[in-house]
Structure 1
Amino acid sequence: MTELPIHQVLPQLKMALSTGTAAVLIAEPGAGKTTQVPLAFMNEPWLKGQRIIMLEPRRIAARSAASYMASSLGESVGETIGYRVRMDSRIGKDTLIEVVTEGVMTRMLQDDPELSGIGMIIFDEFHERSLQADTGLAFALESQGALREDLRLLIMSATLEAESVAELLGSAPVIVSKGRAFPVSTHYLRSFGLDEIHRGTAMVIHRALAEQQGDILVFLPGAREIRRTADELVRTGLGHDVVIRELYSALPAEKQDAAIQLDAAGRRKIVLSTSIAESSITIEGIKTVVDSGYMRTEIFSPRTGLPQLITRRLSKASADQRRGRAGRVSAGVCYRMWSEEEHRHLQEHTTPAICESDLAPLALELAAWGTRDPKQLAWLDAPPQIAYTQGQTLLKELSALDDSDSITGHGHDMARLGLHPRLAHMLLRAQEMDEASLAIRIAVLLQERDIMRRNEAIQDQDLRSRVERILSYEQGSQSYHSQDRSEEAVIQRMRQEIKKLHAQLDIAYSTRGDLDLCGLLLSFAYPYRMAKNRGGSGFLMRSGRGVKFPAMQPLSRARYVVVAAVDDQGADGNIQLAAELDERFLDKYYRNEMESHKEVIWDAVSGSIRARQKLKLGAMVIKEQAYPNPTGEETALALLQGVQQEGLGLFQWSKAALQLRERMAFMFRHERDGSWPDVSDEGLMDRADEWLLPYLNGLRNRNDIRRLAPGTLLEHMLSWEQKQLLHKEAPTHIRVPSGSMIPVNYSDPEQPFLAVRLQEMFGLQDTPRIAGGKVALTLHLLSPAQRPVQVTSDLSSFWRNGYFEVKKDLKGRYPKHYWPDDPLEATATHRTRPKA
């Protein structure tokens, strides 16, 4: 056997797990950890004939690792070495090493927490930090601590920061193996936007073909970009000695194997791959890597409660992983489609899935495990509380959890299906209706990429169209003639999954089903995404969120739809997939969840109240009719709403009412004991239910409001003592020396003033004061023609200093009037001259 770097540390690793129950192995790419470590432990005494389970993050990696190990033993897969992945299993009675994907491992733990017959669990490529891997480790640690002290746990990774995971494992030893990597030279290029990435990538591939030898591995964000790049390469011309291979999870196994192996005809191979090729698998013959710099991932939006598939820049750690694929067999080259400056700003590590995923599946797994609170388990990164709580809320809506967050019998049934809780609930409800076959196809369609091509001429977001298409394929009435080369692979995967789910539900395979039920079945999965048409292409979901179709189509005219997929952009998201919901089903299946609302509101257009009775399902109004006899309290509250909307201008304010309000504002400002009401617009609106609401009973419209006397309403806000104090401290009028009663102007509560003719103030030494003498009135001294000649708050100073200048001017303009030399000794008058 060829000596691999991992062989140098295997004795140390064996010693660690013979004396302890956990270890961390950091092994660089090319070290051989995936294929050599499980084999090294097969005959360890502590294993005692028990099995080794190795978790791989992807199906292709699981199959590839099992195949390599089996061949190294001279056996076929299914003998000593086997694998179990979704929809495919090759395990025999003598199998000692099982390579499984993470979802399979979770089911094994749930079915048997003691892991009977299993002596060791290996978590490979743990740096990818998938949600299932984190969950599996949390369960395994609890199983080890409570039930299986002898269970060995080994974490293997290429780039993981070992200290934190070693601490999680109880200060487990960390063993490091150098990889067998050759030098890789790196070329930084310019970056390309997503809309032109296929053209940019094709240009770089042509350059690499001209400059380098050997096969080329190209990283692209998803299957769509892979197909467009392949088409661009064909369009721009490739030699007969070059072959294109595609590699992504939706491809059938034989096409994935063709991408991994050397070309049988000896041609140069261009492998267009998603992130699936970053680790775990070795693609033979690769000497050059072209990295687009993008990755596609699903994140959870707490704002909408919906998952969102996004394309974003990769992390530095992922970039290094991709670069390393070029140096596995010899010195290599990496072309990075971004600049060195851009590289410096990349995130160091990829965000763990647990931090940004939809956590409803995790909440269901934990509930099935018997854990209500994730804090009871050990995590490298604890689930975010907001997303986890939203997941629990969804599970309660689906009847999977009770009010105490404990799993129900229905929840256990959902968990056993191994699907997203939404889909599991839908299948179980459909099975009760004898429509499981139709629900199975809907579930499978929702888990795969859209089989209706985005570039088709007619906009079609209708789920029913997809169901009809998959049924046509199954029934043999439609053949594969699409230019979309991956559609056949997707269809084949769907057909396998459809048959598997029929078997899992223990029902006979069938292609029958009432397609008119598509919307109803979808509503079981997405109960809060039922939506009512509100005109055009817009809909209002039960949750209260607005959504719309990106373009007019037959489904735009539906009265009700159920939205299966919606983007997370803007106030009204674009519907990506939906089905029509027959209104009859709302009453039959959701009547108990509807609520009757009597709505009495202010109608600003008519200036009156509008009374309606509505039957609502969440934010959707299912039925609406007139509400003929609203109560006095209901009408009063609606009128109060009208005042709050339109403001205090709805009232007819007399001069006396305005002055009363201003006087009360003055007392509020100057009597700071907190007992005086705030009569500003804001203050009155805040307390409108106290001073206004009791007087609205029996009123109906704007005219009725205008007949109210606002001054009287304000006066009712005051106690008897406050009314007396208001009269004393903020008088409406002041008697001046002439005997006239002059109104006090309180429009500025900081500076109330008297507007009075100068002649009426003769003989008054000091400025009049209010508020118990604390506030001097500002005097607007007027001419005989009522025009201001002086403004002062110090009358005594005016008589001494300003009067004589004013007198000269007034005497010249009003010679018949009385202008004494000594104003303090003169007689005040409101006439031209005082009476003799």
Structure 2
Amino acid sequence: MREGDERLRRLLAAPPDLPVAGGLAEVVDAVRSRGAVVVQAPPGSGKTTLVPPAVALAVDGRVVVTQPRRIAARAAARRLADLLGEPVGETIGCTVRGESRTSAATRVEMVTTGILLRRLQRDPDLPGVAAVVLDEVHERQVDADLTLALLVDVRRHLREDFVVVAMSATIEAERTASRLGGPGGTGGTNPAAVVTVPGALHPVSRHWHGPPPGVLPRDERGVTPAFLDHVAATVRRALAEQPGDVLAFLPGVGEVADVVRRLGGLDADVLELHGRLDARDQDRALTPGPRRRVVVATSVAESSLTVPGVRSVVDAGLARRPQTDHRRGLAGLVTVRVSRAAADQRAGRAGREAPGAAYRCWSEADHAHLADHPDPEILTADLTSFALELATWGSPDGEGLALLDAPPAPAMDAARAVLRSIGAVDDAGAVTERGRRVARVPTDPRLARALLDGAGVVGSRRAAEVVALLSEDVRAPGGDLVAALRAARRGRDATWRAAVRRLVGAVADAPGEPGLTDDQAVGLVVALAHPARIARLRPGSAGGTSYATVGGTGAVLPPGSALVGTPWLAIADADRRPGQRDALVRSAAPVDEDTALEAAAALWAEDDVVTWRSGRVTARRVTRLGGIELTSTAVHDPDPAAVALAVADALRRDGLDVLRWSEAAVALRQRMAFLHRTLGDPWPDVSDDALLATATRWLDGTDPRRLDVTQALRRLLPWPQAARLDELAPERVTVPSGSPVRVDYGGDQPVLAVRLQEVFGWAATPRLADGRVPLLLHLLSPARRPAAVTADLASFWASGYPQVRAELRGRYPKHAWPEDPLSAPPSRGPARRPR
């Protein structure tokens, strides 16, 4: 290593003119004194180029530097090796998926985060490695967050001398430093040192170019063609107004290709740059040419990557981010607006070598509404791989790990459910031997399961071909994944072919069953990978495009798909946009019913479905494959317990009105409500919310088909106070005429509506609830129309009755209206006036 160290020393003695050079001494001091450092420096400051050599000279061993993407790792290794005047593989090495160029002399090795994560799982001691430099941690990818946490765990429990450096342009420095802190001298922890390099970037002017009126960046189908026209026009404008090369940012590979087509005829070389290109084409985009260039890229060029010659950036303002509907099991990439931090990162690409310009394809007013930072992936992404990594590490819940953000509980529950379903973890969440086999396959656990289980049926190579296709963001024409596979075989996609070779090497060689067609093979592998996405054509589907999935959501095929009308599908990828009932199928393959039932056998169930509506029980015995109903037959004598549950469900869904409320039940409830309102405990609350909350108590033991709500309510009456119900809140009150008159408890105060002549002789108003509340008397005429309302009968006889008597005598002259009602006999019928 001496010769390599000497070259590194010469480089740092006369470093390139990069801002970070002024902070290297502070970084080295922090490495030697603390062992953990956070380096915060703006884009283009040179931290990826100069910090790793400085760390290498401060430690005894190899320095591993992580990059979020293969293209960035390869470019960083080549850049640093060029500065040393040697090829990659000597002092500077590089290892990415499918390619490794290192030697015994390697002092600094660029790797992707996933590579380092697998090394940690194989051997947490990382023998021969003295330090790890985590680059671009601000991107907050799930693998990067997890790798940082595992490295902290290694420092705390295995190797106190281990050095970790975290670098970013927009990092939350203090928070990251607290997580990265290592062992302290008294058994505690010391926070990592924070080194901030201000940087002296070349100035970048901002130019705002919002789309024309009526042009939306996105609609329900994705990025709109009209917006891509606008981006292409902005590229042409930048090329005309600015010197040097142009770097344009688009959200995905499809949009990159669309804009490249729109730029035909330019007097410049138009090149694509994204992760699915082979190494040769990536290098071509990163190498200055004899002519001006337009490099159309995805977010791979957003950070940790310099595209030489670029003086202007055109930013579409869109990005792909992982997002998962955990309830429906739909995980995928969605197109979102970039954050301000990401927009600044992109703009900074124009000022790495000289003053530049950034053309933003949105208005300055829209910019004010962008989020400050992108959401960490751990909060939105599918966490199945993450959960398996935790289980393999021996910490299924992540307890004690220095994660920057805790994973959401629903996402982790969904991830563990997937892992249990494929046998990767046991019921306690601990990894199984099968789970370790799954974890060793370099792909998503569901795809690894499909590879391992499908190889024996379809053959190891064909299973690897399908899984390699599923690992990429493939948009199959018309959603036909079989057609996409055949196109991949005919094409020159080196990335896909390299993935196939890796996956073939990860599984035992198997020829597969003879005579199996591509349709059958692709359908089986997809069904094994995503059993919840198996779908059946909905009966009566207009046009044969609408499907129900095992996972419970709907799915529709794109117009003109070759799969239209296929009875069963295995859906590889679907996109469910906000506001849409069904997901749009992006790729799928036909599958037969037997294969569907076998692949999703864990989701097969037979249940009695009992419903209660309008007092009627309906019961069916339903066979389901998850959310797909296979058969249904009537059940004539359902289990009473199931019926009781149906009533409880109906109450939660539709409220108390689903019960048959007799007049007696309503009256009892009103009396109980009056006593609760007046006397409080122990008289129960019988409001809607209270009855719904206690339904299992007061309905317990009742056969819902013969439900008597009155008797059910009586279960809520307190004992022994229930014996006084009729005394405290009588159902009827006997008036002086001898008539038992019903009391109405439906209002705020109990009401007794009675003919005036029946209460002659009643000196005072009766009071209820131990004398606390007087009855409100509605005194009626002989025609039972209200004549007076009073809660103070004595006052009414004295002052109100004379006027009422005068009015009633005129209206009902044949009835007796005595001057002294207290001494007059009461009458049930029409008491006649004496002749």
User: Is TM-score (shorter-chain normalized) higher than 0.5?
Assistant: yes
Q: Which residue in 2 is equivalent to 1:107?
A: 118
Confirm or deny that 1:350 pairs with 2:363: no
Which aligned pairs between 1:474-513 and structure 2 lie closer than 5 A? 491-507=493-509, 513=516
2:524 pairs with one of 520, 526, 534: 520
Q: Give deviations 1:789-835, integer Å, cap 9, x for gaps.
A: 33333333233223333333333344444333333344444454378
CA distance in 1, matches of 2:712, 2:204: 85
Shift of 1:719: 9.5
Question: Structure 1 residues 404-413 or 491-500, which shifts more?
Answer: 491-500
CA distance in 2, matches of 1:652, 1:140: 65
Q: Which residue in 1 is equivalent to 2:11?
A: none
Q: Which amino acid aligns with 1:795?
A: L
1:182 pairs with one of 202, 217, 234: 202
Q: Does structure 2 retain, via aligned residues, the 8 Å contact 1:437–1:513?
A: no
Larger Rg: 1
Shift of 1:396: 1.8
Question: Structure 1 residues 667-676 or 756-765, which shifts more?
Answer: 667-676
Confirm or deny that 1:833 pairs with 2:835: no
Which aligned pairs between 1:114-129 and structure 2 lie closer than 5 A? 114-129=125-140
Shift of 1:746: 2.0
Q: Which residue in 2 is equivalent to 1:213?
A: 243
SS at structure 2 position matched to 1:116 = coil
Q: Which amino acid aligns with 1:190?
A: G
Question: Structure 1 residues 688-697 or 422-431, which shifts more?
Answer: 688-697
Instruction: Give the percent of matched residue pairs that are identical in Structure 1 and Structure 2.
Output: 38
Q: Does structure 2 retain, via aligned residues, the 8 Å contact 1:640–1:693?
A: no
Report the CA distance shift for 1:735/1:113 in structure 2 as closer, same or farther (over 3 A).
closer
Q: Does structure 2 retain, via aligned residues, the 8 Å contact 1:742–1:755?
A: no
Q: Which amino acid aligns with 1:181?
A: L
Confirm or deny that 1:741 pairs with 2:769: no
Shift of 1:775: 4.3
SS at structure 2 position matched to 1:563 = strand
Q: Which residue in 2 is equivalent to 1:576?
A: 586
Q: Which residue in 1 is equivalent to 2:344?
A: 320
Confirm or deny that 1:445 pairs with 2:493: no
Which aligned pairs between 1:610-629 and structure 2 lie closer than 5 A? 610-627=618-635, 629=637
Q: Does structure 1 retain, via aligned residues, the 8 Å contact 2:31–2:58?
A: no
Q: Does structure 2 retain, via aligned residues, the 8 Å contact 1:742–1:756?
A: no
Which aligned pairs between 1:633-648 and structure 2 lie closer than 5 A? none
1:230 pairs with one of 242, 257, 260: 260
Q: Which amino acid aligns with 2:92?
A: I
Confirm or deny that 1:674 pairs with 2:687: no
Shift of 1:26: 3.9
Give the TM-score normalised by the residue count of structure 1: 0.83
Q: Which residue in 2 is equivalent to 1:477?
A: none
Q: Which residue in 2 is equivalent to 1:163?
A: 174
Confirm or deny that 1:255 pairs with 2:270: no
Confirm or deny that 1:563 pairs with 2:557: no
Q: Which amino acid aligns with 1:597?
A: D
SS at structure 2 position matched to 1:77 = coil
Q: Give deviations 1:484-536, integer Å, cap 9, x for gaps.
A: xxxx5xx3321221123213325379998543243332232223333444432
Q: Does structure 1 retain, via aligned residues, the 8 Å contact 2:817–2:833?
A: no
Q: Which residue in 1 is equivalent to 2:445?
A: 421
Confirm or deny that 1:374 pairs with 2:398: yes
Q: Which residue in 2 is equivalent to 1:243?
A: 269
Superposition RMSD on alpha carbons, in Å?
3.9
Report the CA distance shift for 1:803/1:547 in structure 2 as closer, same or farther (over 3 A).
same
Confirm or deny that 1:466 pairs with 2:468: no
Q: Does structure 2 retain, via aligned residues, the 8 Å contact 1:756–1:780?
A: yes
Q: Which amino acid aligns with 1:525?
A: A
Q: Which residue in 2 is equivalent to 1:483?
A: none
1:135 pairs with one of 136, 146, 154: 146
SS at structure 2 position matched to 1:494 = helix
Q: Which residue in 1 is equivalent to 2:231?
A: 201
Q: Which amino acid aligns with 1:833?
A: R
Q: Which amino acid aligns with 2:37?
A: A
Q: Which amino acid aligns with 2:204?
A: V
CA distance in 2, matches of 1:427, 1:442: 9
Shift of 1:121: 2.4
Q: Does structure 2 retain, via aligned residues, the 8 Å contact 1:765–1:796?
A: yes
Report the CA distance shift for 1:676/1:70 in structure 2 as closer, same or farther (over 3 A).
closer
Q: Which residue in 2 is equivalent to 1:64?
A: 75
Q: Which amino acid aligns with 2:488?
A: I
Q: Which residue in 1 is equivalent to 2:10?
A: none
CA distance in 1, matches of 2:805, 2:482: 95
SS at structure 1 position matched to 2:94 = strand
Report the CA distance shift for 1:628/1:586 in structure 2 as closer, same or farther (over 3 A).
farther
CA distance in 2, matches of 1:763, 1:824: 4
Q: Does structure 1 retain, via aligned residues, the 8 Å contact 2:675–2:683?
A: no
Q: Does structure 2 retain, via aligned residues, the 8 Å contact 1:733–1:741?
A: no
Which aligned pairs between 1:706-785 and structure 2 lie closer than 5 A? 725-730=724-729, 734-737=733-736, 739-746=737-744, 748=746, 750-771=748-769, 773-785=771-783
Q: Does structure 1 retain, via aligned residues, the 8 Å contact 2:523–2:570?
A: yes
CA distance in 2, matches of 1:633, 1:793: 49
2:805 pairs with one of 804, 807, 810: 807
CA distance in 2, matches of 1:649, 1:501: 57
Q: Give deviations 1:172-217, integer Å, cap 9, x for gaps.
A: 4444556563333333333574223322222322322332222222
Q: Which residue in 2 is equivalent to 1:90?
A: 101
Q: Which residue in 2 is equivalent to 1:544?
A: 552
CA distance in 2, matches of 1:232, 1:713: 74
CA distance in 1, matches of 2:115, 2:371: 31
Shift of 1:416: 1.0
Report the CA distance shift for 1:835/1:519 in structure 2 as closer, same or farther (over 3 A).
farther
Shift of 1:423: 0.8
Shift of 1:427: 1.0
Question: Structure 1 residues 741-750 or 364-373, which shifts more?
Answer: 741-750
SS at structure 2 position matched to 1:561 = strand
Shift of 1:248: 1.4
2:604 pairs with one of 594, 600, 610: 594
Give the TM-score normalised by the residue count of structure 2: 0.83
Q: Which amino acid aligns with 1:492?
A: A
CA distance in 2, matches of 1:379, 1:646: 44
SS at structure 1 position matched to 2:117 = helix
Question: Structure 1 residues 825-834 or 113-122, which shifts more?
Answer: 825-834
Q: Which amino acid aligns with 1:566?
A: A
CA distance in 2, matches of 1:465, 1:623: 33
Q: Which residue in 2 is equivalent to 1:399?
A: 423
SS at structure 2 position matched to 1:281 = coil
Q: Give deviations 1:106-134, integer Å, cap 9, x for gaps.
A: 12222222222223323233333333233
1:529 pairs with one of 512, 527, 533: 533
CA distance in 1, matches of 2:769, 2:55: 95
Q: Which residue in 2 is equivalent to 1:53?
A: 64
Shift of 1:4: 2.7
Shift of 1:361: 1.3
Shift of 1:286: 1.8
| Structure 1: runs of 5+ lacking an equivalent | 454-459, 474-479, 481-487, 700-704
Q: Which amino acid aligns with 2:425?
A: L
Confirm or deny that 1:145 pairs with 2:165: no
Confirm or deny that 1:4 pairs with 2:17: yes
SS at structure 1 position matched to 2:399 = helix
Q: Which amino acid aligns with 1:356?
A: T
Q: Does structure 2 retain, via aligned residues, the 8 Å contact 1:828–1:834?
A: no
Shift of 1:409: 0.4
SS at structure 1 position matched to 2:587 = strand
Report the CA distance shift for 1:246/1:19 in structure 2 as closer, same or farther (over 3 A).
same
Paired residues, number: 792
Shift of 1:421: 1.0
